[in-house]
Amino acid sequence: MIICSIDIGTNTLLMTIAEQQGNKHLNILHDIHSIARLGEGVDKTGVIKEEALERAVVIAQEYERICVQEGVTHKVAIATSAVRDAANGAAVCGKLSQVLGCEVRTISGDEEGRLSFIGTSESLSKKTVIDIGGGSTEYVTGESSVIKHRMSLQIGAVRLHERYLKSLPPAEENILAARMEVRRQLGFLPQASAMQSDQFEPGELIGVGGTFTTLAALDMGLQEFDSTSIHHHTMTAENISRITHELLTTPLPKLLENPAIHPKRADILPAGALILEETLRFFGATSCKASTKGLRYGVLYDALRQLHTGKDNSSLHA
């Protein structure tokens, strides 16, 4: 069986194609990252722009061509924050569904967090998975396959960039306003209530999404993206603070010169780094680990569980 998952996010369109080999192994055939910035301006206007949709359509057409070429037998596509928030989200899903030849389903923030946890968890130990997206950030704490706390917050790299950090480098008062908003949002987490009663232990912090993988590449001094090196790379809180400061004080043209930063991510990376820095401070963490998996892998595992009743999705790993 060849199965495909497509994650339509606020900033990226991600596709993973895998072939199931036996009962418990997935052979990854393609893992493709493209940037459409579908959620451009959604925080302000409440709608997805026609030009943003056209960018997504072009990428979706290429994804469908690859699916046909690889003989994909089952396809699952989900949409997240930008489509959730947009008044024309249903129409956008309809258009992309036509292009992809399958239903594009908009999932809730809680469901996004659950699937990110499933896709990222590779051990039975306690962990908190953090998925910094363009429009939202998901926080999920669990142990083994049991989720204890989960919540989606309306703070993402695109959203924070458009509200506070659009001019790079931003003014100090804008940085402070962005920090205060992130701290305010973090206070809504169920983990925050548990921390106040001394009944919470986050375990290992594992992050997914372009913010984490790019920061890991910067932390290692990579000249190009290398998923093998980045996956499971541990970053200290001290290094994250240093990199965040550098990003927030560097003009955009200079950021664009860095080979480790995707040119279409450079403008929003300072906002994503600030979210991570404040998140580590909130949890009192000294480090976090980057993962190159996440939501699209969770969609794969969950789809296989549904296709093969009785299989535990936590036992399916690539």
Tokens of 104: 């594009």
Say if residue 270 is preceded by a cis peptide, omega within 30 of 0.
no
Residue with the two structure tokens 């690889």: 70
pLDDT in tens, 230-263: 999 999 999 999 999 999 999 999 999 999 999 9
Q: What mean pLDDT is predicted for residues 121-125?
A: 89
Please report the pLDDT score of residue 300 as a whole number.
94
To the nearest 10°, the Cα dihedral for 186, 191, 196, 198?
Answer: -150
Angle, in degrees to the nearest 10, between helices 89-100 and 50-70: 30
Topology of the domain comprising 2-109: Nucleotidyltransferase; domain 5 (3.30.420)
pLDDT in tens, 196-211: 777 788 999 999 999 9
At 26, is the pLDDT very low, low, confident or very high (cuts 50, 70, 90)? Answer: confident
At 23, is the pLDDT very low, low, confident or very high (cuts 50, 70, 90)? Answer: low
Please report the pLDDT score of residue 309 as a whole number.
63
Q: Are 206 and 130 in contact (CB under 8 A)?
A: yes
Residue 315 has pLDDT above 80, yes or no: no
Please report the pLDDT score of residue 317 as a whole number.
41
Coil, helix or strand at residue 249: coil
Please report the pLDDT score of residue 306 as a whole number.
85
Q: d(Cα 210, Cα 70) in Å, to the nearest integer?
A: 26
Where are the chain's structural domains?
A: 2-109, 123-291
Helix (H) or strand (E) holding 129: strand 127-132
Q: What mean pLDDT is predicted for residues 129-134?
A: 97
Please report the pLDDT score of residue 176 as a whole number.
98
Q: What mean pLDDT is predicted for residues 79-94?
A: 97
At 316, is the pLDDT very low, low, confident or very high (cuts 50, 70, 90)? Answer: very low
Please report the pLDDT score of residue 123 as a whole number.
87
Q: What mean pLDDT is predicted for residues 43-71?
A: 98
Q: d(Cα 28, Cα 309) in Å, to the nearest integer?
A: 22
Residue with the two structure tokens 């249903």: 90
Which runs of consecutive H residues, i.e. helices, occur in the chain?
42-45, 50-70, 81-85, 89-100, 109-120, 157-164, 172-186, 190-196, 210-220, 227-230, 237-248, 252-256, 269-283, 295-307
Q: 205 exposed, middle or buried (CB, 10 Å; 0-12, 13-18, 19+)?
A: buried
Helix (H) or strand (E) holding 199: none
Looking at 3.10.20.30, 3.40.50.800, 3.30.420.150, 3.30.300.30, the CATH number of the domain 123-291 comes to 3.30.420.150
Question: Above pLDDT 70, what percent of the chain?
Answer: 96
At 30, is the pLDDT very low, low, confident or very high (cuts 50, 70, 90)? Answer: very high
CA 124 to chain CA centroid, nearest Å: 22
Q: What is the mean pLDDT of the chain?
A: 93
